[in-house]
Amino acid sequence: MSHCQAVLLSDRSVLRVTGADTHKLLQGVITNDLNGAQHGLGIHSGLLSPQGKILFDFFVVAAGDGFLVEVAKDKAAELVKRLGFYRLRAKVDITEEPSFAVVAAWGGEPRLPEGAIAYADPRLPELGVRVLLPEGEAVASLGCTVAGEADYHALRIRLGVPEGGRDYVFGEAFPHDALFDQLNGVDFKKGCFVGQEVVARMQHRGTARKRVVPVEGDAPLIAGANVEAGGLPIGPIGSVDGAFGLALLRLDRVEDAVSKGTPLMAGETRITLRRPSFATFDVPTAVPA
């Protein structure tokens, strides 16, 4: 058996988008360049509100005469409806595709059964590959050690990679908040997409104040807990794995707290911040306990 690990992501779903105008439709609305989802490669992308807030995040990969879109299961029907809103009279069919299960595999190359579609996770190499596994195939058929979903999220948390609905709220966060600019989720050269003016302005002016960053507590963290510095709100904790977690924080307020020697607290738990290996932005270091 390979040394890779693989896990079924039960909260993910797959849509199929086909038709003569599919490329034109998707390219005109999503944050990333659809041309990157070709030749066995996939892209991570989002669909924004006109105000530049993330409504959906998803992966896209070419398949047959169209594309497969991997999205959170509880957002799939809503995404179908939203894409239909932009479709107008375009020749595009958007349907849910129940014949695939979504698997994440990392730490080695999985063995792909017939009909499986795999591509490197476009956010970060350490996250391994995403596999769309045909109906009827077990995760064990990949030749990897079968892991639990908690193992995948622990990996994601340690790497500093956020996930929509867990580490930021859909409809409230900008792409920069969710690190789309750091993790290959937005293409600033592709041209127009919904919300593009707002996102491009934040990129050009460097005005992003909030970022999802890894945090570590001196005790186990609680998802949803608020981080404060001297009573001033800094932001909420999202995903957690014991004392490790991700938090969407106002880094300008963190910097001010650090300069004053004010500890960062999540309830009674003192936390410190760390900078992800991929980050091009500064993460102020909290005063140690």
On whether residue 136 sits in a domain, the answer given is: yes
Query: Domain check: are 136 and 226 in the same one?
Result: no
User: What are 188-235's pLDDT values in tens digits?
Assistant: 999 899 999 999 999 988 878 999 999 999 999 999 999 999 999 999
User: What are 245-287's pLDDT values in tens digits?
Assistant: 999 999 999 999 999 999 999 999 999 999 999 999 999 875 4
List the domain range (segments joined by +) for residue 118: 5-159
**49-63 mean pLDDT:** 97
pTM value is 0.94
User: What are 85-138's pLDDT values in tens digits?
Assistant: 999 888 999 999 999 999 999 999 999 999 999 999 999 999 999 999 999 999
CA distances from 240 to 235, 237, 276 (A): 15, 8, 16
2 pLDDT tier (thresholds 50, 70, 90): low
Q: How far is 52 from 96, CA to CA, in rounded Å?
A: 26
pLDDT for res 166:
97
Q: How far is 36 from 43, CA to CA, in rounded Å?
A: 6
Query: Domain check: are 13 and 155 in the same one?
Result: yes
Query: Domain check: are 224 and 89 in the same one?
Result: no
pLDDT for res 163:
98
Query: Domain check: are 219 and 155 in the same one?
Result: no
pLDDT for res 206:
80
Query: Domain check: are 152 and 58 in the same one?
Result: yes
Query: Domain check: are 91 and 218 in the same one?
Result: no
Query: Domain check: are 9 and 145 in the same one?
Result: yes
> Does 289 score more than 50 pLDDT?
no
Query: Domain check: are 121 and 230 in the same one?
Result: no
* Counted domains in the chain: 2
